[in-house]
Amino acid sequence: MNSNDIILKPVISEKTTELMGINKYVFRVSMKANKLMVYHAIKDLFGVVPVKINVLTVRGKDRRLRFRTGKRSAWKKAIVTLKPGEKIELFEAQ
């Protein structure tokens, strides 16, 4: 798999922006990705060496629209911890 196929997009929320303050970045990753694949993808795409990577699967929620029921898709996210002083330039204003 290509690095761009492993790291799909960053997860942006209030909780994840607070995690960026302590050098933890959250990404949505491929369902087939594991920790080693995420490690190499982060190293290739952003040029930083992760200290720790946590990968977890977010289960799909049951949704309902009027009289029909359905389910959202499950997805996988990775929480990447970097060394103090290193950062990933995602949303930095120039």
**What CA–CA distance (Å, rounded) separates 46 from 30?**
17
Burial environment of residue 18 by CB neighbours within 10 A (0 to 12, 13 to 18, 19 or more): exposed
Would you say residue 94 has pLDDT above 60? no
Would you say residue 2 has pLDDT above 70? yes
Evaluate if pTM is beyond 0.85.
yes
What contacts 12, CB < 8 A, 6 or more positions away? 91
Q: What is residue 3's predicted lDDT score, i.e. its pLDDT?
A: 94
Report pLDDT digits (tens) over 21-65: 999 999 999 999 999 999 999 999 999 999 999 999 999 999 998
Taking the CB of residue 55, how many other CB atoms lie within 10 A of it? 17
**What CA–CA distance (Å, rounded) separates 55 from 76?**
7
Would you say residue 91 has pLDDT above 70? no
**What CA–CA distance (Å, rounded) separates 28 from 56?**
10
Instruction: Confirm if 14 and 28 have CB atoms less than 8 A apart.
Output: no
CATH superfamily of the 3-62+71-81 domain: RRM (RNA recognition motif) domain (3.30.70.330)
